[in-house]
Structure 1
């Protein structure tokens, strides 16, 4: 029920008839193990450390895993990547990922309600953490402090309501932050003050109503920024000026209820000056006043803006 690829020391098991981890049957030189679409519901340290000391990648997606044993990865000194996408995990024990030199940890599409700093050891090697598609309402800053090498953080499709002040300060190497499809209403003016290497920031489909004027002041390397489908009515003068590295079509502002009165003047000028950097600029449209509803911001005239004031 498994397939072995001797040349690259890979084993793939994808039979629904599996209900327990096939520890005893795995070749000792296995470096990549994939177990998917099975009925396995629990995995412990004892399942993994019998003969898998050379394991570098462990892919466990689309099973029925509800429980992970404590110290799960003890005995896997070479493990770099762990993928637990599409399982039924909700609560994870302390030290569950702390014993292997993980660089990539994917916990996408589970039922996790709370992320904990005790999952990981201090000063880990993790560069990619994916917690998307869970039930998180907040992320402790203490977890991020254990991730000094992180360059990719995925948190979309959760229930996050805020990004706590200073919570991202430890992520000085992060290049990609994804907060899409959450419930974030506000962002502190210094939320990204230490994320100087950020190149991609995704904030689509939240509940943002306003942006602090200095929010992006340190993001001079940012190439892509998505702010579409929020509740933004205006942007503060000067707030987009630090984004000097935006790529062509790198900024998405569509799907917001822009108010096209005197306060839209800065946005109007910025879009017309940087039209190539805006994705579908004609879709950045006015929601008010009634006389301008449906008009694209960039199509407005000076006199129309004055009359709407």
Structure 2
């Protein structure tokens, strides 16, 4: 009995070491082998180096979860058929140049969760068939020029959770077939645009947990094949340059868990092929109307966990293929039907987690509650009290007209408002309205322009129209429009501004304000105005200048004439005497006081 137990224990030990059906030949001690599959599993065996005695027929070698510190030169040169090598979860700090030389058929290399700080150029030489390289969770500080030069067929590169502070411009040279790059949790403070531009075959790019505050212009230049871009967990990112995504043909874009306070419309408008857009977990407060129309192929928009207060009418106008809207966990009170290009195309709607006011604006959603897919999360009402906390599926058709109702907007004070003021005065017109939901107030000028909330003429938050330092051109009618989902009302007011006379007794306007002339200045000014002046100073200056120019012209003509006359006679006259009599300024001179000067001809 005891002998039989010993035999069984020995067989069991061999099975653990070599695997079921394996023999000791070609399988190292403390490893499990499956010769028919070519697997050699040495994971978690406290190995300090790669074991000896590996079969040359091995196709998969698992050395993970050991205590290997160094990978030497040509360490695995005796395994020409090896296709997958896993060195993850060791304490590797050094990999020598040409460490993997001879692994012509290797497709997958994992060196995840080790202690690598730098990768010398030439480490990955001799791996022409490598498709996937995982360097994540190491302590790599920098990628040097030509680090991956010989990995011409590499398709996926994982470099998450390293201490990267710099990626050299030529680090990715040679990766012409790389399709996916995953970069997560590093110390980079800017997008390595120049290095990325070498990856012209890239189709998927994931950039997670970076300390970058601005997405600069042309951040992803020359990545024309890129289809999916994920930017996530950049807590400092609050600005996206208008040309940052220029040249991309993305179908999927996610910029989530960042610090964007507005939808980056100008950066998005170039993405005509975009189908999926995720801006979740950003402090975005509004989706404005008519600014997403260039995204003709957009099908899904996710903006969950933000600070949305409103989605304006026409926000998705022109998006004929729009199917999914996810705005769960925001601060929306309503979602109007006019937001969409066509609600008939809408298939998935996530509205849960919002303080919804269940009135006529949401009636269209409730009536489609059986056809719309709420993704397992039914919206619920926050107001009115009669519907508080009730989910949309709980309402019957009979209740809808009474609960989901609105009162049209109505201007409450319709007394005429006409203001007649002098230029420079400040005028205010009031416009109060009620209704359910609370109406919005808009002022329209006589030129049919919407009055903004800033400027000399502005609309205040309480509905008041304020005109500061009124000008004559401000005269006209202004119209107050009060509107809500149930209807509109309006009120017209008039403004007449009288211009101030522009004369010597009128006040002058300086930067410091209006300045009235003193009484003595006014009296002197009046006395001076009563005296007739034959000419003013400006006229005298012009006349004097014109006379002097005429005189110089005459002298020049005489000089030229005399010069040519003397040449024609063959005699050169060296001097000429010219007499002139100046005209009296008052016209009373007799010409006795003449003048004479001599001009020398040279």
Fold agreement, TM-score > 0.5: yes
Q: List runs of 5+ in structure 2 lacking aligned partners.
A: 1-29, 311-329, 340-438, 443-449, 455-602
Q: State the partner residue of 2:145.
A: 117
Q: State the partner residue of 1:285.
A: 307
The structure with the larger Rg is: 2
Q: Does 1:47 align with 2:75?
A: yes
1:181 pairs, out of 209, 214, 224, with 209
Q: Does 1:68 align with 2:104?
A: no
Query: Per the alignment, do residues 41 and 304 of structure 1 end up closer, same or farther by CA in structure 2, a change over 3 Å counting?
Result: farther
Q: How far 1:276 moved relative to its partner?
A: 4.8
Query: Per the alignment, do residues 298 and 16 of structure 1 end up closer, same or farther by CA in structure 2, a change over 3 Å counting?
Result: farther
Q: How far 1:11 moved relative to its partner?
A: 0.9
Q: State the partner residue of 1:215.
A: 244
**2:74 and 2:98 in contact (8 A); partners too:** no
Q: Does 1:19 align with 2:45?
A: no
- 1:95-121 deviation per Cα after TM superposition (whole angstroms, max 9, x unaligned): 111221122211011111111234333
Alignment partners' CA distance in 1, 2:181 and 2:229: 10
Q: Does 1:252 align with 2:278?
A: yes
- 1:172-192 deviation per Cα after TM superposition (whole angstroms, max 9, x unaligned): 110111111111222222122
Alignment of 1:232-247 (within 5 A): 232-247=260-275
Q: How far 1:144 moved relative to its partner?
A: 1.9
Q: Does 1:86 align with 2:122?
A: no
Q: State the partner residue of 1:139.
A: 167
Q: How far 1:127 moved relative to its partner?
A: 1.4
Q: State the partner residue of 2:229.
A: 201
| Count of aligned pairs between the two proteins | 295
1:227 pairs, out of 242, 248, 255, with 255
1:265 pairs, out of 264, 288, 310, with 288
Q: State the partner residue of 2:597.
A: none
Q: In proportion to residue count, which structure has more strand?
A: 2
Q: How far 1:253 moved relative to its partner?
A: 0.9
Q: Does 1:295 align with 2:324?
A: no
Q: State the partner residue of 1:291.
A: none
Report the aligned-residue RMSD: 3.2
Query: Per the alignment, do residues 122 and 70 of structure 1 end up closer, same or farther by CA in structure 2, a change over 3 Å counting?
Result: closer
- 1:13-42 deviation per Cα after TM superposition (whole angstroms, max 9, x unaligned): 1133312210x2211111221111111111
Alignment partners' CA distance in 1, 2:288 and 2:440: 11
Query: Per the alignment, do residues 242 and 45 of structure 1 end up closer, same or farther by CA in structure 2, a change over 3 Å counting?
Result: same
Alignment partners' CA distance in 1, 2:299 and 2:158: 31
1:5 pairs, out of 34, 51, 62, with 34
Alignment partners' CA distance in 1, 2:292 and 2:334: 8
Alignment partners' CA distance in 2, 1:82 and 1:145: 19
Alignment partners' CA distance in 2, 1:285 and 1:164: 31
Q: List runs of 5+ in structure 1 lacking aligned partners.
A: 289-293
Say which structure, 1 or 2, has more relative contact order (CA 8 Å, 6+ apart): 1
Alignment partners' CA distance in 2, 1:297 and 1:44: 64
SS at 1:166 equivalent: helix
Q: How far 1:266 moved relative to its partner?
A: 5.7
Q: How far 1:52 moved relative to its partner?
A: 1.0
